[in-house]
Amino acid sequence: MALQVDVLVNRDCLAGLKELNSGAVDLAFADPPFNIGYEYDAYDDRLESEKYLNWCRRWTGEVVRVLKPTGTFWLAIGDEYAAELKIMLQQEHKLTCRSWVVWYYTFGVNCKAKFSRSHAHLFHMVKDPKRFTFDTLSIRVPSARQLVYGDGRANPTGRLPDDTWILRPQDLPGGFQPHEDTWYFPRVCGTFKERTGWHGCQMPEQLLGRIIRACSREGELVLDPFAGSGTTLAVAKKLGRHFLGFELSPEYSARVRQRLARIQPGDPLDGAAEPLVSAPNTANGRRLEEASEPGTRKRRRLSNASQPTLPGL
């Protein structure tokens, strides 16, 4: 089919990708089903392992085919198949892994017989390790000299992010140093303003903003084969990129189109642009404490008193 841009196509991504010309896409971001039993409305997330991996082999192969020779592919995946898919991308599809990013968050899956999950994997893959887009100026973050020490010698442009992204580094001034590998972005929880309310696996706009700014330029084409809640497409539109998405669910597709219709290029991204400086650390924040008053029931009251808190609680 003729290449359409700035659209969401309600179609199985394999069928849609096969009709695209090779070498048409600058940046692809995929957040596929993890095969962990999540209740989608139009997809079975409980495939046999070999069947799931064969399906992944097919759609990732199509994504690689439609990438330009200088193109970039980001894959978000959980623990269960991270190793298999990384090997598949490198050995079978001949991509080069530039970064293995760990996205850390709290309010994750509450487990009873194992340590609670609070992370996902983001594989940054390129076709040509010598020719690819990586715009460092657009994604720089404040350095420790700026945030912690107030050092006048700090580079005013900050530094490149670590490759582990975490939820509250404010609480860990001695941790997550520049040589470490964790990124910091909050999950889009139910109380967050940017929450769409109809999709349970919504990606934060600021996370996609970092990836799209770094790995594409204005006017280039960003592909998402699993559009889901539409965050990749929404951020691409806000940042002046062309976009193309596939989504199997008719309901999700209709809602994504509504989301995109409300957006104009140049609109700000939802969420804190730099979470490191957007909120105080826990010790300087406020906590809820139980207090009772004469003639009233015990009720919660805000207090400015500080109390040591473990990260993630």
Q: Band of the pLDDT at 146, cuts 50, 70, 90?
A: confident
Looking at the domain that runs over 7-285, which CATH code has it been given?
Answer: 3.40.50.150
At residue 20, the pLDDT reads 95
Tell me what the pLDDT averaged over the chain comes to: 79
User: Ranked by mean pLDDT, which of 33-47, 144-158, 280-294 comes out on top?
Assistant: 33-47
Give the percent of the chain with pLDDT over 70: 71
For the chain, give every domain's residue range.
7-285
pLDDT of 84 > 90? The answer is yes
Concatenating the DSSP letter of every residue in the chain gives -PPP-SEEE-S-HHHHHHTSPTT-EEEEEE----SS----SS------HHHHHHHHHHHHHHHHHHEEEEEEEEEEE-HHHHHHHHHIIIIIS--EEEEEEEEEEEEEE--SSSPPEEEEEEEEEES-TTS----SGGG-B--HIIIII--TTS-TT-BPPPSEE-S-GGG-TTSS-TTS-EEE-----TTSTT--SS-TTPPPHHHHHHHHHHH--TT-EEEESS-TTSHHHHHHHHTT-EEEEE-S-HHHHHHHHHHHHT--TTPPPSS-S-HHHHS--GGGS-EEEEE--TTS--EEEEE-------TT-
pLDDT in tens, 150-191: 778 888 888 887 777 654 555 455 554 444 555 656 655 444
Q: Kindly tell me if the per-residue pLDDT of 287 is higher than 60.
A: no
Task: Compare 151 and 207 and report the one with higher pLDDT.
Answer: 207
pLDDT in tens, 35-55: 987 777 778 889 999 999 999
